[in-house]
Chain A
């Protein structure tokens, strides 16, 4: 999609640098002149929001690491030291802790958007799979970060999650012992989790670069799912159009983020984590952070330990296979009457699983979790089947046509003379 570079060095220094390291050209081509579909809606701002969140988490995290002590005897108090003694420590910690939740809110919106508009379909399969890899790395990072304060939820969450690996036959016990560095979750576990928690965000950053590279190679999807046919008509330059839209999305997102940080900083946490870790007493109700709850519900829905672990892992890994599970050629579910309904049912199922994951695994909750687990996986089966017979609605012939049709009152009229009717918006 990217055409010839339109970068023109403006000064002698820029010409000198451009001949040696064309880094300004790269930035110009990727973030200024890069053509984006002109019909992107606000769901497309979450990519930029996610970059912002990653950078914010790295900055606050690096600062917190200057005051934190990764030792099972000192960790809890060092976090309280950050909260009480370090200048603005309370704010930095709340930014980092709530930032993790906001990061997941944004990534879930980003994933739902990708599924609704078929952003995983050819030629974006590799782009999509890189996204699933980032999601997995995010989950590992968030889990290990939650262990670091060494409170009761940290300790018992780490115990429960690392014990999942013991379900694997033969090698399970060895893997768990190598994860722990001992016979139970203890100081060696805390030390290695801190090391990895610091490392993984930079690995995420690396995969994000690949993700953006793949995105800029194939071009962005858009709400119609129709590929760009005419760069002049169908796209606008990234700057100022996408830049300003992304910034507005980010600012609105930051208002919500700020509200949590300054008014409800512990809303998404657990009170039990303000009790120091105690290997002799389990909190009455162990639950993971909210963003793991749907997967936790799937884990507990299966009455078999190994089966539960495999179903939970499968619930994430199945996303990577979505490009081949969905048999329809039509990308956007706006034009797929049946798939669109399946999608919204699936969104409700995901939220329902999140609710069930927070409930005690007894009686009706277990049965509901089992039904919802079947529905969760059933969505992917249904996408496979529906794609074979579904009659999609008529697709617009181009992005420009779709934009102009909706500008004229959203009628289904497909204008042949769209080119002549196009307003002159190019700068």
Chain B
């Protein structure tokens, strides 16, 4: 190959060009990964987002509390018999986001409803948790921003929101305690 010209392929020069290019691409990629990855939630944020325990004992029937987990509000509601019956009586097929009340509560703990407190429309916080706040047409929550009504199971019933209030991952650790997360 003493007289290799530019027109020949498969030369050592081609190999060097490809190898250098590949090494450069790997090097560029290896700096892009940390640059993108640093945007993700950091370790402190993740640690602060660990599961939280909630004591249900102080929540009397008909009351609800608002807690924060991972910076988002969560409603924990101790429902009355009437509210549970209303939630069960709904024909699921008529719902915008069909879910039964059983799918949204834990068996044996039907009075307790745990849902994220951001309206699924554009993220406002619906009213209906504190005493005296309007609960909407379906004994649940009412979002004042754009008029979404949620029922006593946190399901969207009326207004622009597309989805039910999501149920966060949680489990009962005893009869009166839950762990969210």
- Are A286 and B71 interface neighbours, CB within 8 A? no
Indicate whether A183 sits within 8 Å of B72 (C-beta atoms), given known contacts A188-B45, A282-B125: yes
Any A CB within 8 A of the CB of B162: yes
Partner of B124, one of A156, A179, A184, A188: A156
With A177-B41, A181-B42 known as contacts, the answer to whether A305 contacts B162 (CB < 8 A) is yes
Asked if A216 CB lies within 8 Å of chain B CBs, one says: no
**Would you call B71 and A183 a contact (CB within 8 A)?**
yes
B177 touches A (CB below 8 Å): no
Residues of A within 8 A of B72 (CB): 183-184
* Chain B proximity of A29: nearest CB distance (Å): 38
Q: Do the beta carbons of A156 and B123 come within 8 Å of each other?
A: yes
How many angstroms from the CA of A285 to the CA of B124 in the assembled complex? 10
CA distance A181 to B121 in the complex (A): 22
List, in ascending order, chain A residues with CB within 8 A of B172's CB. none
Q: Tell me if A281 is interfacial: C-beta within 8 Å of chain B.
A: yes
Q: Does A178 contact B (CB under 8 A)?
A: yes
Given A163-B122, A282-B124 in contact, is the A182-B145 Cβ separation under 8 Å? no
* Complex interface: chain B residues within 8 A of A159 (CB): 122-123
Interface string of B129-158 (1 = CB under 8 A from A): 000000000000000111100000000000
Min distance, Cβ B67 to any Cβ of chain A, angstroms: 10
Whether the Cβ atoms of B40 and A177 lie closer than 8 Å is yes
B170 within 8 A of A: no
Main secondary structure of the interface of B (DSSP, over half): loop
How many whole Å from B125's CB to the nearest CB in chain A? 5
A303 at the interface (CB under 8 A from B): yes
Once the chains bind, are B39 and A181 in contact (CB under 8 Å)? yes
Q: Evaluate contact between B49 and A284: CB separation under 8 angstroms.
A: no
A182 engages B45 (CB within 8 Å): yes
Which residues of chain A have C-beta atoms less than 8 A from B121's C-beta? 305
The answer on a CB contact under 8 Å between A160 and B123 is yes
Contacts of A340 in B (CB 8 A): none
Q: How far is the CA of A179 from the CA of B38 in the complex (A)?
A: 11
Within 8 A of B (CB), among A91-113: none
A394 located at the interface, meaning its Cβ lies under 8 Å from any Cβ of chain B in the complex: no
B41 near A181: Cβ-Cβ < 8 Å: yes
The answer to whether A282 and B144 touch across the interface, beta carbons within 8 angstroms, is yes
> Is B111's beta carbon under 8 Å from chain A?
no
Q: Which of A160, A163, A178, A280 contacts B125 (CB 8 A)?
A: A280
| Interface pair B39/A279, CB less than 8 Å apart | no
Q: What's the dominant secondary structure at chain A's contact region?
A: loop
Complex interface: chain B residues within 8 A of A183 (CB): 41, 45, 49, 70-72
Contact among B41, B45, B68, B160 with A303 in the assembled complex (CB-CB below 8 Å):
B160
A177: B residues at CB distance < 8 A:
40-41
**Across-interface contacts of B45 in A (CB, < 8 A):** 181-183, 186, 188
Q: How far is the CA of A300 from the CA of B145 in the complex (A)?
A: 12
Interface check A304, CB cutoff 8 A: yes
CA distance A253 to B39 in the complex (A): 40
Q: Closest CB-CB distance, A406 to chain B, in whole Å?
A: 51
Q: Are B42 and A282 in contact (CB under 8 A)?
A: no
Interface-central residue, B42, B66, B71, by most chain A CB under 10 Å? B71
Q: Which residue of A lies closest to B121 (CB)?
A: A305
Q: Which residues of B contact A160 (CB under 8 A)?
A: 122-123
Contact with B along A266-286 (1 / 0, CB 8 A): 000000000000011110111
A279 and B41 within 8 A (CB): no
CB distance from A267 to the nearest CB of B (A): 23
The B34-76 residues at the A interface (CB cut-off 8 A) are: 36, 39-42, 45, 49, 66, 68, 70-73
What's the least CB distance linking B81 to chain A, in Å? 29
In the complex, what residues of B have CB within 8 A of residue A163's CB? 122-123
CB distance from B130 to the nearest CB of A (A): 10
Q: Is the CB of B40 within 8 A of A362?
A: no
Q: Residue A9 at the B interface, CB < 8 A?
A: no
- B61-120 residues with Cβ-Cβ distance < 8 A to A are 66, 68, 70-73
Shortest CB distance A352–B (Å): 20
**A281 CA to B41 CA, complexed, in Å:** 24
Q: How far is the CA of A181 from the CA of B70 in the complex (A)?
A: 12
Choose from B40, B49, B73 the contact partner of A178 (Cβ within 8 Å): B40
Residues of chain B within 8 A of A362, CB atoms compared: 146-147
Contact B145 A286 (CB under 8 A): yes
CA distance A179 to B144 in the complex (A): 27
- Whether A186 and B71, one on each chain, are in contact in the complex, defined by CB atoms closer than 8 angstroms, is yes
Residues of B at the A interface (CB closer than 8 Å) are 36, 39-42, 45, 49, 66, 68, 70-73, 121-125, 144-147, 160, 162
Additional A-B contact list (20), CB under 8 Å, known A181-B39, A183-B70, A361-B147: A156-B124, A159-B123, A163-B122, A163-B123, A177-B40, A177-B41, A178-B40, A180-B41, A181-B42, A181-B45, A183-B41, A279-B71, A280-B73, A280-B125, A282-B123, A282-B144, A286-B124, A303-B160, A304-B162, A360-B146
Q: List 27 A-B contacts (CB under 8 A).
A: A156-B123, A159-B122, A160-B122, A163-B123, A178-B39, A179-B39, A180-B41, A181-B39, A181-B41, A181-B45, A182-B71, A183-B45, A183-B72, A184-B71, A186-B45, A188-B45, A279-B71, A280-B73, A281-B125, A282-B123, A282-B125, A282-B145, A284-B144, A286-B124, A360-B147, A361-B147, A362-B146
